[in-house]
């Protein structure tokens, strides 16, 4: 059926949670829980989710190794997953402002000072992982910490049962914004068609979202458009999903954030990006990503159904992009040559001759 992605139910976007964590599931108190997921800090009488007793029948361990959404001892990583330029940073700012949450990234965020000029939007103590820890060391530390870490990632999901918040955005707007981002911060930005295709060195918009949506672990689906249009509603959903109590309201406007970092917060509106992709390679986009767009509910008058004509136009757009890329490579100035690094000649006065060293080694070995 058109619009159906294997392993993904399009109707799931209507729920706050994917299976096993929807609000309709039965709940138990911590005092009643006897499985190995219960932590010593859990207080009797507190309500927390039933982690699917069907998987825990016969005394087998439940699927989730740590207590999830426990109001008393939430010790875990919650992944903040998204395709680039889909609202991940905006969600991190909201979580830090409203919940006081730690919102580190799995990526090194000191490569481009201009890119990460956050002012008071994301304090380094909340948004950067400790400099002396590798990514693996940090994740191990976060999993054993008494705090919740909301960890930004654009990577495929890990093989774990950790909860996730997946932020999605109209693919045309996200891809167009990613193209502009690369032009601002990358030495060798990719073409729009290359990004749409998800070519070498690029993520594919549909595959990125599908990988996170197919997980069986608890996953909250947030649309960028809802985050910007209804911050209060988004905060309520985040509070319900995470078990964190809001400490305040989200009062930042896009203009405020743009004033701090205009190169990162460029427009906020989807309309310019949608128009850009539709003009440059709309058929290519819909041929590759139409099913995921429909599965996520992005249906409007510009939605293009599958047809032979669509695929023919998509091939033409891809061919034109390839020709443009080849011409750009042919006309590009050569990269400056890197001068060879020569080793200084040894100083005869300070280093023994090779023959003397060889003779010394021979004597020590008992030779000669």
Domain boundaries, the chain: 10-173+203-266
Residues of the chain with pLDDT under 50: 1, 10, 12-75, 110-115, 343, 346-368
Distances (CA, A) of 5 to 87, 189, 303, 308, 316: 23, 30, 17, 20, 26
Summarize pLDDT for 180-228 with one digit per residue, the tens: 888 877 778 888 999 999 988 889 999 999 999 999 999 999 999 999 8
| Average pLDDT value over all residues in the chain | 71
Going through 19-174 in order, the beta strands assigned E by DSSP cover 27-29, 47-49, 76-82, 148-153, 164-168
Is 78 within 8 Å of 162 (Cβ atoms)? yes
Architecture of domain 10-173+203-266: 3-Layer(aba) Sandwich (3.40)
d(CA 37, CA 21): 16
Summarize pLDDT for 142-162 with one digit per residue, the tens: 888 888 889 999 999 998 889
pLDDT for res 264 = 61
Is 324 within 8 Å of 290 (Cβ atoms)? no
H or E, element range at 221: strand 219-223
pLDDT for res 184 = 79
DSSP-H helix ranges across 60-170: 88-99, 124-127, 135-143
Distances (CA, A) of 283 to 30, 205, 287: 53, 15, 6
pLDDT for res 118 = 57
d(CA 10, CA 4): 7
pLDDT for res 240 = 94
């Amino acid at each position: 059926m058109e619009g159906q992605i294997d392993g993904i139910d399009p109707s799931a976007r209507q729920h706050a949670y994917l299976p096993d964590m929807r609000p309709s599931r039965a709940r138990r108190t911590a005092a009643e829980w006897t499985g190995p997921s219960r932590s010593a800090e859990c207080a009797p009488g507190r309500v927390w989710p039933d982690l699917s007793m069907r998987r825990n029948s016969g005394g087998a361990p439940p699927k989730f190794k740590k207590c999830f959404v426990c109001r008393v001892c939430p010790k875990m990583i919650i992944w903040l997953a998204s395709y680039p330029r889909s609202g991940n940073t905006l969600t991190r700012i909201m979580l830090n402002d409203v919940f006081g949450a730690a919102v580190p990234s799995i990526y090194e965020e000191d490569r481009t000072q201009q890119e990460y000029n956050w002012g008071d939007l994301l304090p380094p103590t909340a948004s950067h992982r400790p400099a002396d820890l590798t990514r693996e060391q940090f994740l191990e530390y976060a999993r054993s910490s008494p705090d919740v870490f909301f960890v930004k990632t654009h990577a495929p999901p890990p093989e774990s049962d950790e909860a996730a918040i997946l932020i999605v955005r109209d693919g045309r707007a996200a891809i167009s914004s990613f193209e502009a981002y690369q032009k601002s911060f990358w030495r060798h930005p990719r073409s729009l068609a290359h990004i749409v295709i998800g070519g070498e060195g690029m993520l594919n918009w549909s595959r990125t979202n599908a990988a996170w949506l197919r997980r069986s672990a608890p996953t909250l689906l947030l649309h960028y458009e809802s985050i910007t249009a209804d911050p209060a509603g988004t905060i309520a959903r985040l509070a319900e999903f995470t078990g964190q109590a809001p400490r305040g309201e989200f009062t930042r406007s896009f203009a405020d954030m743009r004033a701090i970092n205009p190169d990162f917060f460029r427009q906020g509106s989807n309309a310019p990006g949608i128009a850009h992709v539709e003009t440059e390679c709309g058929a290519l986009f819909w041929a590759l990503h139409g099913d995921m767009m429909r599965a996520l509910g992005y249906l409007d008058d510009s939605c293009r159904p599958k047809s032979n004509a669509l695929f023919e136009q998509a091939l033409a757009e891809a061919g034109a992009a390839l020709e443009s890329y080849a011409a750009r490579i042919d006309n590009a100035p050569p990269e400056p040559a890197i001068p060879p690094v020569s080793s200084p000649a040894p100083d005869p006065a300070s280093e023994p001759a090779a023959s003397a060293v060889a003779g010394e080694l021979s004597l020590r070995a008992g030779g000669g």
